[in-house]
Chain A
Amino acid sequence: MNYPHSGRFAGLILAVVAALLGACGESPSGPTAGDDALVRKYGKTLAELPEVKLVLISPHNTDIQYEYETAYARYHAEAFGERVTFEWRDVGGGSSSILNHLRNVYENAERSGIDVVWGGGDFNFTRMAAEGILHTMQLKSEVRDNIPDTFGGLAMCDPDGLWCGSAVSGFGIFYNKQLLDRMRLPTPTRWEDLGSPRLFDLVGLADPAQSGSAAASYEMIVQSEPTWQAGWAKLLSILGNAKRFYAGAGDAAEALPSGEALVTTCIDFYGTNRMAKYPETLVYLSPRGQTSFNPDPIAILKNPVNPLLAQRFVDFVLSARGQALWALPVGHADGPSLKALGRQPIRRDVYEHYAGELLPSIVNPYEVGQTMEVDTQLWNDSYGLLRQLVWAAAVRNVDFLKAAKQRLIETDFPPERVALFNRLPDNVATRERVAETNRLLADRKQRDLIVTGWVTFFRDQYRQVAEEDAT
């Protein structure tokens, strides 16, 4: 070994480290646009205005964060003469992690230091409202007039103003058209097509226990059949075609361009954004009349740091201009500055007001025939349960499920074996039992016993189906 060299090298490393640490001192500079109007009104540039801080927790992606941050900061500066800075909390993970986090926080303290919770499916917001960790919002009448209380059977806005939808999301089918064609496979247009034996082992799906949007899409698949049992059979035929269960709905959407799966289900804008990039290859479609549109809510958290600012931000998001930001292309005066967001506004009037100007992928959910009417009672009774049931029946047992499905395909679906395959555990065998069991799931010991029981039940059942002499 050559000692002097190591010494010199050490010096070099130190120098590099010092240089890097020096670079840390410089902070990135913020945007300074639109100063002229401010100077005229307040006699100050944006940087000179007093600063207020809005803290949000949200699973929304950085594009959404950036566009709303930019638009609102500009609006707020002009309207109120303050400079808003945004702090977006991320607790690692999607909407479930956010719910867990907030619950933990409010279990131990009266305040969370967060003003606004935004995005993640109405299920979580209903839970939060029930647990009393939301602050009542004052919604303007023009907002309430243009957002229905319920739509397609789903609540769009909390009657007490604890939360309100800020956008709606539809669910649809997303597929690699080029490869499906090359492989001479049919292109799916309806939910049931995803259960086709020809798509066995080709469908990328998301884990409903981790992804609220995936759970909602499964609920819709169930509800697209007249009975709970038939709905479950349809869902199970799709689950049985699963290639994989991805952690998030986004992973499932990304499985297409990366060549992992040929077909997935996903939220509309996940699909449409990718379709816009690869128009010849990838296709997103909304199964007409088979999907409802779910609200993507916004709410103010209990004991916010800055209630006034939080309320103003909510007002902005729900204003016509804030709503248009979801759906307009870049370049439009009210549109986003960098990237089109491609999401569905919740306000009815926006579709009319900006007709012809919205992105081509935006459909009007309020148009007749587009939307499925949801059975609200069943939705409420089964949504939480379905997440656990799908997790137990499919996610936790994916290999056994696939083996059973494969066996069914090989033996050309003998009715008795299909019946065995579709059989539900006693405690969810009927709609009534579902509602009953769903209530029991609130207790965590009960939940553990029930869900563990399901995992074993389905595993045994799939094993039987896959066995040669099962019929």
Chain B
Amino acid sequence: MEIALQAISKAYDGVDRPAVSKVSASIASGEFFFLLGPSGCGKTTLLRLVAGLIRPTSGGIAFDGEDVTELPVDQRGTALVFQGYALWPHMTVLENVEFGPRMSGASRDARRRVAMEQLERVQMAEFAQRKPNQLSGGQQQRVALARALAAGTRCLLFDEPLSNLDARLRLHMRDELKTLVKETGVTAIYVTHDQKEALSMADRVAVMNEGEIVQLGTPEEVYSQPATRFVADFLGEANFLGGAVAASGDAVRVTTTAGEIMVSSRTAPDVGSKVQCCVRPEHVRIRAADEGPDPSLENALEATIVSSVYLGDVRQYVCRLGDGADGEWRVAELSQNAHRFEPGQPVLATFAASSVALLRT
């Protein structure tokens, strides 16, 4: 099922800033689509708008080209997996899972068959007669998933479904969920604030902030080519350096206070315009100043080591660029690298032109 959001907004009475502001997006059939953002960014509101639990202040929603904006929640045909699972405590696991088919008028046998099928799929068939409060968190999560799947929907919605699980289980469930969604072939929208979850599972990610989609793209795109400083920050650590475009075209050159930076940008910014260069810590290699630049990496900036912290797999350095006016960069070097730099040591921060993202300012 294709889902289209057109300039959709949701404002609450007495709140100045709209919770969702003119969001447009198209989600392809079978796509695993992620809404990623910090709490309060409007991602859950957007999900609830899609489900029809709330109605937009303006804008529209279409499923397969059909306007469903006015369709009440019970006729939308989406299936939502709630953050706290929302399993009904007065029903057994089986009754919970049977609920969707029952609502669509399935016969007793049919709904039992569907429910058991889905329970088996999530390996919960043996718990069918239990009450939800007799299950562990992970088991409840599976039942919630089975309940959503049993509804026979073509659109699965997930509202931070893994946030109540412990770290190990969460990792495990990520893979399982992705497999399951892909197996069933339904369109799925998944809300999360965990960028690792989004990057590892999504077909595409919409990064949201303050009610708007800031960037929409594949995990690789949003991670390595963040459109704004917010996206860059939210999707992990990033180093920034402001400057002005000195040359544009195939090879873009940016002049900064710490030196000139070569950027292989897809777009050609105007010469003279102000930009931010963004480089991920793991894309920076540190070399001793006396070693000279690495010929394979286009950029090399002079820097001084400020601190060095051992983190197991990596060693994290903080270094000051140039005379220090441009702030500090974080650099992660694999710990087994031969060199170890000491604070105060002058170094070169080197990185490839392709690893630099140009941000709008």
Using a CB–CB distance below 8 Å, which chain A residues touch chain B? 3-4
Contacts and interface: CB of A to CB of B under 8 A. Distances in A.
**A-B CB proximity, top 3 nearest:** A3-B90, A3-B89, A4-B90
Contacts of A3: 89-90
Interface residues of B, number: 2
A304 to B, nearest CB: 62
Nearest to A4: B90
Contacts of B89: 3
Interface of B: 89-90
A8 to B, nearest CB: 13
A3 B95 CA distance: 15
3 contacts: A3-B89, A3-B90, A4-B90
A3 B89 CA distance: 8
B86 to A, nearest CB: 16
Nearest to A6: B90
Nearest to B88: A3
B208 to A, nearest CB: 39
A9 to B, nearest CB: 14
Nearest to A3: B90
A4 B95 CA distance: 14
Contacts of A4: 90
A10 to B, nearest CB: 13
Nearest to B90: A3
A4 B92 CA distance: 11
Contacts of B90: 3-4
Nearest to B131: A3
B120 to A, nearest CB: 26
B133 to A, nearest CB: 10
A3 B91 CA distance: 9
B96 to A, nearest CB: 13
A22 to B, nearest CB: 30
A4 B89 CA distance: 11
A3 B132 CA distance: 13
Nearest to B91: A3
A4 B90 CA distance: 7
B87 to A, nearest CB: 13
A3 B131 CA distance: 11
A6 to B, nearest CB: 9
B72 to A, nearest CB: 28
A3 B90 CA distance: 6
A369 to B, nearest CB: 84
Nearest to A1: B89
A428 to B, nearest CB: 66
B89 to A, nearest CB: 7
A4 B131 CA distance: 11
A176 B235 CA distance: 95
B91 to A, nearest CB: 9
A415 B90 CA distance: 84
B348 to A, nearest CB: 67
A17 to B, nearest CB: 23
A1 to B, nearest CB: 9
Nearest to A7: B90
A269 B216 CA distance: 97
B25 to A, nearest CB: 41
A7 to B, nearest CB: 8
B93 to A, nearest CB: 15
B347 to A, nearest CB: 65
A11 to B, nearest CB: 15
A78 B168 CA distance: 98
A424 to B, nearest CB: 68
A58 to B, nearest CB: 57
B320 to A, nearest CB: 61
B130 to A, nearest CB: 14
A311 B90 CA distance: 69
A310 B214 CA distance: 91
B67 to A, nearest CB: 40
A4 to B, nearest CB: 8
B29 to A, nearest CB: 40
A4 B91 CA distance: 9
B300 to A, nearest CB: 68
A401 to B, nearest CB: 61
B41 to A, nearest CB: 37
A443 to B, nearest CB: 57
B131 to A, nearest CB: 9
A129 to B, nearest CB: 67
B191 to A, nearest CB: 30
A422 to B, nearest CB: 71
A467 B131 CA distance: 78
A4 B88 CA distance: 13
A206 B11 CA distance: 69
A293 to B, nearest CB: 73
A198 B90 CA distance: 72
A416 B17 CA distance: 84
A313 B89 CA distance: 69
